[in-house]
Amino acid sequence: MCPLLLTSDPLPPINFLLHEVSLPFPHLPLSLTRCPRLLVSSVPTQLRPTLLFLTSLGLVLNSHNTLLLVSDVENTLKPKINFLQSLGFDEPEVNRMVVRSPGLLTLSVENNMRPKAEFFLEEMEGDLEELKRFPQYFSFSLEKKIKPRHRALVEYGFKLPLSKMLKISDGEFNARLIEMRLQRVHKR
């Protein structure tokens, strides 16, 4: 995955992760396994500036999100922040969304975030308040989960909050849909 590992000095990035990011030593292997590029990244020109940017958002780094440190602030991270703001979220709201769901910063604006936002706002007629409460919406598959579940709810005239619609398994969703249909029949 990262042939440069054979010719680079991994100690500066390791020390950076342990001392500046304050990653607990037992979490280091998982972090490096998830993103070997951390070991070949420059501390002063890549890792430290990105850490400063991420912490300015309020994000606390851990072994699950240290892979964000290899992202380019200007060309990768800021465009995602700008896109969320273009939807109508203000800076503190975007920061809270990123803190709640750091994976937002790993998604493509054009291939992921924009189509999901358009579907949510236009087809689902959703409002931004719901996206603030459940920014994880962007991490679910539009074609495999969001659209089919939304269409099933619309077909029967039901509506669920995003979290209840998406966080459950397909089996649980289908069971909930059947339960809602049965409740409707019993009310008649």
Among candidate residues 102, 61, 109, the one with its CA nearest the CA of residue 85 = 109
Question: Residues 100, 75: contact at Cβ < 8 Å?
Answer: no
The domain limits of the chain are 1-71, 72-139, 140-188
Q: Can you tell me the distance from the alpha carbon of 130 to that of 120, in angstroms, rounded to the nearest whole number?
A: 10
183: which residues sit within 8 A by CB, 6+ positions away? none
Tens digit of pLDDT at every position of the chain (188 positions): 667 766 788 899 999 999 999 999 999 999 999 999 999 999 999 999 999 999 999 999 999 999 999 999 999 999 999 999 999 999 999 999 999 999 999 999 999 999 999 999 999 999 999 998 999 999 999 999 999 999 999 999 999 999 999 999 999 999 999 999 998 888 77
Q: Can you tell me the distance from the alpha carbon of 84 to that of 78, in angstroms, rounded to the nearest whole number?
A: 10
